[in-house]
Amino acid sequence: MPATYEPIMSTTITTSTVSFSLSSIPSTYTDLRLVLTYLAAGDYGWPSFRFNGDTGSNYSYTYIRGVGVSAGSSRTTNATKLELGGYQDASSTVPSLTIMDIFSYAGSTNKTVLFDYSSDSNGAGSTYRQVGLWRNTAAINSITLTRENWNFISGTTATIYGIKNA
Amino acid sequence: MAVSRIKTSSVLQGFPKSRSLLAGNPPFTPSSFESIATATGTGSSNTITFSSIPSTYKHLQVRGFYRDTYTGLDTSFALFVHFNGDTSNIYNAHRLQGDGSAVSAVDDSRSGKFPIWFAGYSTQTFSTVGGVMIMDIHDYASTTKNKTVRTLSGVNDNTLGSNGVALQSALYRSTNAINSITLTADGTAFATNTVYSLYGIKGD
């Protein structure tokens, strides 16, 4: 059986930054999985994602979430990026975890992704499951990660895995 | 020094010998996540079956993208699943779902199969949009335990309708090892750019 689920690239942040990119993603896999574990300069913020540097209104998403003791669902259309979370998020000492699965990222369909987001800080916390769409049929060759409001800080890591089918 | 190739002349010239071709190279570590099979839609069939699944893994994962050939109004579709050709009344499913305006929990246990909602999409207006899902099947080869499944699925078409995301558990109340998985389209048929892949995850 062919082995798969291989790490393609990884970045560890050593200097505070609002944004960083993972580029030159090869198109030789079927799906991608991005695992982002991050610390932030302030806990009121959230991560966002763009593909291939596209800042157009080509993104949309729908989520379910649990924040504290409340559950909810919402959606956004014609967005300029995929945003995730937005309540209690990572701090300088408590990391948040985001996993993004990107399906058929090198194929000719629009790109649909699934997010799994978890954040807890001993008294406040939230978890999201979110579907996102990038209305573009181009192969994804870069992902730009941005922390809205407060920077990513040292200790933040992002790894992309390639999943290749038989 | 890593060994990248061996030439007869190197041996004849008396270069240092090693008992292993791994000398100087990093050790080979087998992956614990392997691709078993892939199936694509035909445009006319509403079923995809993975059969003869080996029992040599600990868990299974199915991942995929589903568009339906249904030509009516744009809508999201479920994907139905049953194992081992078993369509008896031994499946359960519970999910947490959101459609962008409300969140709800649903007991969707039904006979002969379990659904994965928001896993597919029809093709009328947005011809390159599909639903996606990941299904993890735990301890699928056990002959002493029932089989528990977890799924995450979603579809989004940048409109205010036909959107949703769902997190689900399912149960196959059988102690038989799973050797086949049948996926059935909720709409008309799997479009040709539907693709599902089956992976095996090793464990102790």
Average pLDDT estimate for B168-185: 98
3-state SS, residue B8: helix
- The structure tokens listed for A124 are 């406040």
Question: Cβ B98–A165 below 8 Å, yes or no?
Answer: no
Average pLDDT estimate for B175-179: 98
| Residue A28 near chain B (CB below 8 Å) | no
Helices (H), chain B: 8-12
Percentage of residues of chain B with pLDDT beyond 90: 73
Q: How far is A58 from chain B (nearest CA, A)?
A: 9
- The structure tokens listed for B113 are 């199969």
Q: What is the pLDDT of residue B10?
A: 63
Whole-angstrom distance, CA of residue A9 vs CA of residue A35: 11
Residue B59: its chain A contacts at CB < 8 A? none
Average pLDDT estimate for B107-111: 91
Whole-angstrom distance, CA of residue A78 vs CA of residue A89: 24
pLDDT beyond 60 at B3: no
| Residue A74 near chain B (CB below 8 Å) | yes
3-state SS, residue B11: helix
Average pLDDT estimate for B132-144: 97
Mention the CATH class of domain A6-163. Answer: mainly beta
Whole-angstrom distance, CA of residue B203 vs CA of residue B188: 38
At A15, is the pLDDT very low, low, confident or very high (cuts 50, 70, 90)?
very high
Backbone angles phi, psi at A144, to 5 degrees: -105, 125
Query: What burial letters (b/e) apply to B16-35, b meaning 16+ CB within 10 Å?
Result: eeeeeeeeeeeeeeeeebbb
* Of B31, B38, B156, Cβ closest to residue A112: B156
Q: How far is A131 from chain B (nearest CA, A)?
A: 5
Residue A132's closest chain B neighbor by CA?
B156
Whole-angstrom distance, CA of residue B120 vs CA of residue A93: 40
Q: What is the pLDDT of residue B72?
A: 83
3-state SS, residue A138: coil
Per residue in B48-91, pLDDT tens?
999 999 999 999 999 999 999 998 887 889 999 999 999 999 99
Neighbouring residues of B149: CB distance < 8 A, sequence distance ≥ 6: B81, B114, B135, B136, B137, B138, B169, B170, B171, B172
pTM of the model: 0.91
pLDDT beyond 70 at A115: yes
Q: How far is A38 from chain B (nearest CA, A)?
A: 23
- The structure tokens listed for B202 are 């090793």
Residue A136's closest chain B neighbor by CA?
B128
Residue B34's closest chain A neighbor by CA?
A3
Q: What is the pLDDT of residue B8?
A: 67
Whole-angstrom distance, CA of residue B166 vs CA of residue B155: 9
Q: How far is B130 from chain A (nearest CA, A)?
A: 7
| Residue A23 near chain B (CB below 8 Å) | no
Q: Which of A8, A10, A9, A13 shows the shortest CA–CA distance to A95?
A: A13
Q: What is the pLDDT of residue A144?
A: 98
Q: What's the gap between Cα B17 and its chain centre?
A: 47
At B128, is the pLDDT very low, low, confident or very high (cuts 50, 70, 90)?
confident
At B30, is the pLDDT very low, low, confident or very high (cuts 50, 70, 90)?
low
| Residue A31 near chain B (CB below 8 Å) | yes
Under the phi-then-psi rule, with left for phi > 0, alpha for psi from -120 to 50, and beta for the rest, what region is B105?
A: beta
- Give the best residue of B156, B160, B169 to mutate against chain A (max A CB count within 10 A): B156
Measured from the Cβ of residue A110, the count of other Cβ atoms closer than 10 Å reads 20
Average pLDDT estimate for A96-107: 96
Average pLDDT estimate for B32-45: 96
Contact B64, B121 (CB under 8 A): no
Question: Cβ B31–A63 below 8 Å, yes or no?
Answer: no
User: Using H for helix, E for strand and C for coil, what is the string for B78-134?
Assistant: EEEEEECCCCCCCEEEEEEEECCCCEEEEECCCCCCEEEEEEEEECCCCCCCCEEEE
- The structure tokens listed for A1 are 């059986």
Residue B32's closest chain A neighbor by CA?
A3
- The structure tokens listed for A29 are 């896999």
Q: What is the pLDDT of residue B27?
A: 62
Residue B102's closest chain A neighbor by CA?
A73
Question: Cβ B152–A132 below 8 Å, yes or no?
Answer: no
Question: Cβ A130–B165 below 8 Å, yes or no?
Answer: yes
Residue A162's closest chain B neighbor by CA?
B33
Q: What is the pLDDT of residue B126?
A: 81
Where is A54: in which H helix or E strand?
Answer: none
Q: What is the pLDDT of residue A89?
A: 82
pLDDT beyond 70 at A1: no
Q: Name the DSSP class of A4.
A: -
Q: What is the pLDDT of residue B47?
A: 98
pLDDT beyond 90 at A124: no
Q: What is the pLDDT of residue B20?
A: 60
Residue with tokens 């080996």: B54
* Of B31, B98, B167, Cβ closest to residue A3: B31
Cα Rg of chain B (Å, integer):
22
pLDDT beyond 60 at B1: no
**Bigger pLDDT: B20 vs B103:** B103
Question: Cβ A4–B31 below 8 Å, yes or no?
Answer: yes
| Residue A127 near chain B (CB below 8 Å) | no
Residue A71: its chain B contacts at CB < 8 A? 96, 103
Average pLDDT estimate for B163-176: 96
CATH second-level architecture of B31-201?
Sandwich (2.60)
Q: Order the strands of the A82-83 sheet from edge to edge.
A: A19-22, A143-148, A46-51, A82-83
pLDDT beyond 90 at A60: yes
